[in-house]
């Protein structure tokens, strides 16, 4: 099993535990698109308590990658995903975070 396959299996298991409703194929596509960042412990997760990191998620993922307009709905969606993944959950994996955001805006086709 490759390191990528191990990460996909790990994220799939985490998604099941959190009842996120994400399937393995979709998780695999999002994980693959993140490239080497998933192997860096700090870059692998999103910190919902770090406002500058959340701003980066908004600018680099929601606006640039998904092509969304900078509206208050973006901040609301980020907050919703933070809550969905759980405030006590210290491992908010970026792959799952991005998958939920893309799903929130019906932009899953970005990973087709």
CATH of the domain at 77: 1.10.238.120
Q: Who's near 72: CB < 8 A, 6+ residues apart? A: none
Report the mean per-residue pLDDT for the chain. Answer: 96
Q: Which domain holds residue 62?
A: 3-111
Using CA atoms, how far residue 41 sits from 28, 92, 93, in Å, is: 18, 12, 10
- Separation of alpha carbons 32 and 4, rounded Å: 8
**33-86 pLDDT tens trace:** 999 999 999 999 999 999 999 999 999 999 999 999 999 999 999 999 999 999
For tokens 């929130």, the residue is 104
Residue 45 φ/ψ, nearest 5 degrees: -120, 160
Say how many domains are in the chain.
Answer: 1
């Amino acid at each position: 099993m490759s390191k990528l396959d191990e990460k996909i299996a790990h994220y799939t298991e985490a998604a099941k535990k959190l009842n996120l409703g994400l399937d393995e194929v979709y998780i695999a596509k999002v994980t693959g698109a993140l490239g080497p960042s998933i192997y860096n412990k700090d870059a692998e997760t999103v910190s919902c308590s770090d406002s500058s990191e959340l701003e980066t998620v908004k600018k680099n993922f929601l606006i640039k990658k998904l092509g969304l307009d900078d509206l208050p709905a973006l901040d609301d969606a980020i907050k919703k995903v933070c809550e969905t993944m759980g405030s006590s959950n210290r491992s908010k994996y970026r792959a799952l975070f991005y998958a939920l955001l893309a799903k929130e805006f019906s932009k899953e086709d970005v990973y087709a």
